[in-house]
Amino acid sequence: MTVVISDMPILLDLEHSQMMVKVLDLPIDFAVCDALYETEIQGSVQEILLGQRLRIETLNEDELLHATALRRSCCSISVSDSFALALGERRGWPLLVGGRHLHAEGRKRGIECRDLPWLIGELKWNGTAAAHLLAMLERLASRCRCALPRGELDRLRATIGGSRSD
């Protein structure tokens, strides 16, 4: 399965929580559109991503035209958001989103949208220890602009802490 990491907030949350390497080690193919990669990914995130399992996808002509139409019809999304939507819609790939506008637009178009709680569930399912997940969530909670609402963070911490087996 290929999942499109569709926006910068989710990447920033993964970097800040120090989840990036563990996430890219999951048995999931992760991709970003070339527009997001070229315009927004830089520094340590870029270095980590280059050495891991992240694919950089270039839109074909049809997808590019579709992305342009999406951007014109929905002013609340960015150019890289419209590229991710086009990839998700045309290739049938789910989106991993952090931003609420992109999530709403994807759902409206019938694109499967996944989020940070889903990703944490995948990490747990694939054997990441509860102590590591809790530490990641604590780092995420300390991020001022975390894309995940505080209540959801608290719920995840309670769920993971309540099922601790290590």
Write the single-letter amino acid at 95: L
Q: In the chain, where are the structural domains located?
A: 2-116, 120-162
Quote the pLDDT of residue 63. Answer: 95
Quote the pLDDT of residue 75. Answer: 80
- Can you read off the two tokens belonging to residue 42? 């830089």
Quote the pLDDT of residue 164. Answer: 38
Topology classification of domain 2-116: Rossmann fold (3.40.50)
Q: What is the pLDDT along the chain (166 residues), one digit of tens a residue?
A: 899 988 777 887 888 888 888 888 899 999 988 877 777 665 556 556 655 677 889 999 999 999 999 999 888 888 888 999 999 999 999 999 877 788 888 999 999 999 888 999 999 999 999 998 888 888 887 876 666 777 888 888 888 875 434 3
For 31, the 3-state DSSP assignment is strand
What is the per-residue pLDDT across 109-149, written as a single tens digit (0 to 9) for each?
Answer: 999 999 888 999 999 999 999 998 888 888 887 876 666 77
**DSSP, res 100:** H
Quote the pLDDT of residue 52. Answer: 64
Euclidean distance between CA atoms 61 and 161, whole angstroms:
48
pTM to 2 decimals?
A: 0.81
